[in-house]
Structures are given as structure tokens and as C-alpha cells.
């Protein structure tokens, strides 16, 4: 399983500013290793974000996203103390879920 995500969630006025660093190799399937063999594709395919028990983001990514991607977004209607739950699933079926509290 991948390393834990690093999530920063802070209130800025009436909007929650959320940033997440996802530790993942994000292999495209086009790179070759030292022996000349193609490294198989391995990338995050879907991401969901729930804030305070409500789904606020659902998206899909592909192999063109860089290694250890960083995503940032703003959420209206959130408040300090709300729980942020972020999930991802990759093309090999690996999953990761991490959470943080809005400060």
C-alpha cells in the first residue's frame, strides 16, 4: 500500500482551502527500465473527497499526471472541525483512504 497522503485543510474566511499530496509512482506504461523493458502502467484512476460527510469532489485521472501528484481545491459551506476524507483507487485496484480535520 502507498504511503499516507499529506492533507492540509484550513479555513480561509468562509471557504475551506484543501491541499493533498498523494504518494504514488504514477507510471505511464511508456517508460523503460535499465534493462530496456517497459515499466507497466500504474496510476491513480479515481479520486473522491468528502467534507463533513458530504461528497464534494469526484474525479478521474490518467497516466499523464506526474509522480506524487498534488491537488488543491476550495469548498464553500465547510466549517472548522469538519472531517475531510480523501480516497483514491489506481488501475491495479490498490486503494488508499486518509483523513484530516479542517483547522
Helix, strand, coil percent values for the chain (each to nearest 5): 0, 55, 45
Please say whether the dihedral angle defined by the alpha carbons of residues 52, 2, 6 and 39, taken in this order, is positive or negative.
Answer: negative
- State which residues form the domain around 88: 6-28+38-101
Does this model's pTM top 0.75? My answer is yes
Domain harbouring 54, CATH code? 2.60.40.10
- What is the total count of domains within the chain? 1
Please check whether residue 1 lies inside any domain of the structure: no
pLDDT digits (tens, 9 = 90+) for 2-41: 799 999 999 999 999 999 999 999 999 999 999 999 999 9
Q: Please tell me whether residue 85 adopts helix, strand or coil conformation.
A: strand
Q: CA 47, CA 29: separation in Å to the nearest integer?
A: 20
Please check whether residue 78 lies inside any domain of the structure: yes
Q: What's the confidence (pLDDT) of residue 1?
A: 61
Q: What number of helices (H) and strands (E) belong to the chain?
A: 0, 7
Amino acid at each position: 500500500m502507498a504511503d499516507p497522503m499529506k492533507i492540509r485543510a484550513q479555513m480561509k474566511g468562509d471557504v475551506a482551502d484543501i491541499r493533498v499530496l498523494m504518494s504514488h509512482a504514477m507510471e505511464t506504461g511508456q517508460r523503460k527500465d535499465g534493462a530496456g523493458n517497459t515499466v507497466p502502467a500504474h496510476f491513480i484512476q479515481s479520486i473522491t473527497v468528502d467534507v463533513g460527510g458530504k461528497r464534494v469532489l469526484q474525479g478521474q485521472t490518467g497516466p499523464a499526471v506526474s509522480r506524487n501528484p498534488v491537488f488543491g481545491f476550495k469548498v464553500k459551506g465547510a466549517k472548522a472541525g469538519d472531517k475531510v476524507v480523501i480516497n483514491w483507487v489506481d488501475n491495479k485496484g490498490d486503494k488508499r483512504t486518509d483523513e484530516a480535520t479542517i483547522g
